[in-house]
Amino acid sequence: MSTVLLVDDNAAFVENFEEILSNEGYAVRSAGSCAAARAEAAAGFQVALVDVRLPDGDGVEFAAALKRAWPEAEIILLTGFASLESAQAAVRAGAWAYLTKPCATPDLLLAVGQARRHIDEKAELRKRAQQAERLATIGQLSASLSHEIKNPLNAAALQLSLLERRVRKLEVASQTTLLEPLGLVQHEIGRLNEMLEGFLQYARPRELYGRLVDAGTLAGHVIDLLRPQAEQLGVRLDARIAQGATLSGDASRLQQALLNLTLNAIQATPRGGWVRVEVTAGDLVEIRVEDNGPGVPEAMRERIFEPFFTTKAGGSGLGLPLSHAIALQHGGDLLVEQGAAGACFVMRLPASGLRS
Ligand SMILES: Nc1ncnc2c1ncn2[C@@H]1O[C@H](COP(=O)(O)OP(=O)(O)O)[C@@H](O)[C@H]1O
Ligand SMILES: [Mg+2]
């Protein structure tokens, strides 16, 4: 719920606004003076309505001070009459808007609603910037680390295959006891290599190759690639693919993103379940990956996009943040929703037509 701080010394006016705003679902806190308003503001608020004339001070200066102390909040000035001066005062105070008294209910609600939305937009932008920064840091770190690890790992893999060849020359009886642990080590090295590839993906700069990509064809590839795995786990893999879902971007990265989503869905779905990949065309190309597994609990929906967050024993926690980054790089987005049965991941990307 949003809290509105109402600062005005006209009791009748305050009462009226309080009622209008509470009816719209806002929590309202009111004060008749700067001193009282300071105390009320300390408890937190999102939007403040401040009269320019207050008994113990200048409302414009007070509004400016509020804005400095709560930069995330938005201030709306209340003035006696519309004038150039009111507009200048609003600018001076860093206010979002000003309203002239007496003001009509729709005007009031419009101004407060807009301020409220503006706050949400700013928060969203901040979140994205933070995420981009975090990705960049992880990118640099993992790039150098991965390169350092890759060389000795490759050397180890090479020695292992040498060892394997020598073992295979021994008499059959002693081969099996040696080949089994050898295979396990090779498998683990393979996994490490895959993980390193994941890290390295972050490090690659935004060198997206903007070619025309058919999302349907891409989805078809991913399904072909994962079909054996799905069958092995007893999960039905369906596709509903629209024609003409073209976008411009980097096919291999988009495929990687879709592969991550589909693999996650297959892994989350119990034997006998299903996973459906759906591609629809429009101004936005929409790619949905839905499953009938347990879904993603509400409380976990933000966290799953954080790098290294995983609930799997052997998980890397990189699939989703990577896919999210790829969607953002293509001017789109990736969200998780509650599907009809389980989880539903939705990637929306601008169709190629919009881009030219
Ligand atoms: N389709 C899904 N259903 C339920 N949970 C999922 C699904 N996809 C992802 N998750 C959750 O998100 C987490 C992070 O996924 P991801 O970034 O791909 O890393 P990883 O697969 O290595 O765990 C998973 O560990 C899982 O808890
Ligand atoms: Mg994954």
Whether residue 261 has its Cβ less than 6 Å from ligand 1:
no
Whether residue 296 has its Cβ less than 6 Å from ligand 1:
yes
In this structure, are residues 286 and 333 in contact, taking their beta carbons and an 8 Å threshold? no
Whether residue 268 has its Cβ less than 6 Å from ligand 1:
yes
Q: How confident is the prediction along the chain (356 residues), in pLDDT tens digits per residue?
A: 899 999 999 999 899 999 999 999 999 999 999 999 999 999 999 999 999 989 999 999 999 999 999 999 999 999 887 677 777 878 888 898 889 888 889 999 999 999 999 998 888 888 877 777 776 777 667 777 777 888 889 999 999 999 999 999 999 888 989 999 999 999 989 888 877 876 676 666 555 667 899 999 999 999 999 999 999 999 999 999 999 999 998 888 899 899 999 999 999 999 999 999 999 999 999 999 999 999 999 999 989 998 788 999 878 888 898 899 889 888 899 999 998 899 999 999 999 864 33
**Using CA positions, which residue lies closest to atom 5 of ligand 1?**
296
DSSP label at 53? E
Q: What is the DSSP secondary-structure string of 270-336?
A: PTT-EEEEEEE-SSEEEEEEEE-SS---GGGTTGGGSTT---STT--S-HHHHHHHHHHHTT-EEEE
User: Which atom, in ligand 1's list, is nearest to the CA of 342?
Assistant: 3
User: Which atom, in ligand 1's list, is nearest to the CA of 320?
Assistant: 17
What is the pLDDT, as a whole number, of residue 192? 85
DSSP label at 46? S
User: Which atom, in ligand 1's list, is nearest to the CA of 311?
Assistant: 25
Whether residue 320 has its Cβ less than 6 Å from ligand 1:
yes
What is the pLDDT, as a whole number, of residue 231? 96
**Using CA positions, which residue lies closest to atom 11 of ligand 1?**
304
| Residue whose CB lies within 8 A of the most ligand 1 atoms, among 301, 304, 336, for a mutation test | 304
- pTM of the entire predicted model: 0.57
Whether residue 303 has its Cβ less than 6 Å from ligand 1:
no
Whether residue 260 has its Cβ less than 6 Å from ligand 1:
yes
In this structure, are residues 241 and 276 in contact, taking their beta carbons and an 8 Å threshold? no
What are 154's two structure tokens? Answer: 């490759």
Nearest to 77 by CA among 85, 86, 68: 86
Nearest to 198 by CA among 310, 116, 111, 33: 310
Ligand 1 centroid from CA 267, angstroms: 8
Ligand 1 centroid from CA 343, angstroms: 10
Whether residue 235 has its Cβ less than 6 Å from ligand 1:
no
User: Which atom, in ligand 1's list, is nearest to the CA of 261?
Assistant: 8
Whether residue 259 has its Cβ less than 6 Å from ligand 1:
no
**Using CA positions, which residue lies closest to atom 27 of ligand 1?**
311
Whether residue 341 has its Cβ less than 6 Å from ligand 1:
no
In this structure, are residues 235 and 289 in contact, taking their beta carbons and an 8 Å threshold? no
